[in-house]
Amino acid sequence: MPGGRPLSAGHLELWEIVIQSPKRRAEGIVMNIKTRHFKRLGAFLVGALLLLEGSVLNAADLKGTAQARTEGGVLRGELRFDELGVLEAPGPEAEVSSRQAIAIARGFLALEVKQGSTAWQGARIGRVIPFWSVDGLKMAYEAEVLSASGEAQGSIFVEAWKALGPISAFSTQGPTTADILLRQWEEENGSRLEDEGAGYRFLWSAPAAAALQVFLLDGGTRFVSPIPGLDASSFQGIERLIQAALRDTETFPDSRWSPKREREELRKAYRERNFDGPLFQGRRSSLELSNRGGGIHAPATVGLGSSNFSHYKQEIRTWSKSANSTYKCYTGCMPVAFGIVLEYWDRKGYPKMVGTDKANSYTSHTNDVVRAMLDTLRGHLGTYCEKTDGTGLSPVSKASRALDYINGRGVGTWKSDTTNSSLYRWSRVMSEIDKGNPPVIHFDSSGKDSTVNHSAATYEYRDNWGISNDWACTETGWGDARCFQRTLLGSYYVTRVMRP
């Protein structure tokens, strides 16, 4: 154990690491780390140095706390802890202030309107709500979007740290994520948090993981989220930032172009509303229902695709088709994602895909016909119930088994395949949407590029020069639609379902 006395905080300890360098007089990092994981602090410090400096370091730059060397801009070597002190304070200030976040959100809104989005014509930014990590970092701001008449029109998530893209997710319809979480608490508990006097904060780990952390009056803590299985481990801010910084440095150690430079150019462009550069000259495509018979096409306009898909939502019930049992659990994101795609095709010239060929309006997940379809898909996809949290889980390796359902519906012989090749997956998303085939993507919803844990039907993409402003727009499977910044999807998989 290194020198310095830790400040006990329940099962956590709060440490400050002080770094001295010629460029900056001193930098402090506060970390909440479980005692039994203290040996991992070295790895955290490596990433923290990269975050703070963003440039080459060497042993002469550091005072007392570590010895290190660089190779091609990447910090490597043994770390030796000599001076550790205790700081009773929250984590470091976010690199993007709330005022800057408002400017970035307004710029992004202006860009969407300029590039043809009909959803946000006349819209404006309303409230800006901070989202946190469990280790005390302000991670992002959710900027509320209001229509000209003051109605909720979605939101924009602006990241609070420069190691991440300026905007990680947005939606063009419905209330903010914060309001959805508060409403979920009220529905589950029959009371408002303000009336109970309980403290709370919103948690964020892009691209899809959000939660309401409630500090109960009896000293307990509860997590509220539409996504089951989320807990404190899902919202570790330091870990997320360090992974982002290391990924940048290791991938582009000597390049004149870098994701970091691209992110800075994007932030500046959003703040100044200058969209004439190459970063904004890409292409977009979204699926839109055609009124010309059963055909489909990829229109020049954007923001229309989500209105053409059913906003199915996972529900807890006892399913007859489970790979392990008939436990009561959530539907599972993969059956829901494929269910959304198949209901889309049911209205697009293949009326036998869901239910009968005479009734083609199965837009509610509580419809008995839809439930039967989802239950059957669960059986084909190997979906099983996780007993600890009620999650419905499906292996990605069985994603193409959705064909077993499709080809049994009398709609011809369809084909399907799945890839996670970094050379092909993004181009496959684009090409399939261009062809009118909505693909299903499978990704890590925490943004940590870890185990794939979510699947979503994809209806729209935006492909720009660079990587930090490419977007995949999906039906989340929780009753809403949201667009995610592509790099936050990590090592994702893409399943395409191809018509005869």
Strand ranges, E, within 134-198? 138-146, 152-159, 167-171
Length, in residues, of the chain = 500
Please state, as a whole number, how many other Cβ atoms lie within 10 Å of the Cβ of residue 90.
13
Residue 289 pLDDT: 38
Give yes or no for a contact between 133 and 448, defined as CB atoms under 8 angstroms apart.
Answer: no
Going by C-alpha positions, the residue among 29, 41, 32 that lies closest to residue 11 is 32
Q: Full-prediction pTM beyond 0.85?
A: no
- Distance from the Cα of residue 107 to its chain's centroid: 21
Residue 328 pLDDT: 83
Note the pLDDT tens digit of each residue in 225-262.
887 777 787 888 887 887 777 666 555 544 556 778 88
Note the pLDDT tens digit of each residue in 262-282.
888 999 999 999 988 878 876
Residue 130 pLDDT: 92
Q: What is the largest CA-CA distance in the chain?
A: 76
Residue 27 pLDDT: 36
- The residue extents of the domains of the chain are 7-76, 98-280, 283-498
Going by C-alpha positions, the residue among 494, 491, 468 that lies closest to residue 282 is 468
CATH no., domain 283-498: 3.90.70
CA–CA distance, 200 with 194 (Å, rounded to integer): 9
CA–CA distance, 471 with 490 (Å, rounded to integer): 13
Please give the residue that has the higher pLDDT: either 57 or 492.
Answer: 492
Give yes or no for a contact between 455 and 489, defined as CB atoms under 8 angstroms apart.
Answer: no
433 burial via Cβ count (<10 Å: 0-12, 13-18, 19+) = buried
* Confidence grade of residue 485 (pLDDT, cut at 50, 70, 90): confident
* pLDDT surpassing 60 at residue 292: no
Percent of the chain exceeding pLDDT 70 equals 71
Cα radius of gyration rounded to whole Å, the chain = 24
Please give the residue that has the higher pLDDT: either 334 or 277.
Answer: 334
Give yes or no for a contact between 287 and 308, defined as CB atoms under 8 angstroms apart.
Answer: yes
Give yes or no for a contact between 349 and 490, defined as CB atoms under 8 angstroms apart.
Answer: no
- Phi/psi for 336 (5° steps) reads -65, -45
CA–CA distance, 184 with 313 (Å, rounded to integer): 14
Note the pLDDT tens digit of each residue in 49-72.
433 333 333 333 333 333 333 333
Lowest mean pLDDT among 23-37, 281-295, 341-355, 438-452: 23-37
Most confident of 168-177, 197-206, 221-230: 168-177
* Confidence grade of residue 337 (pLDDT, cut at 50, 70, 90): very high
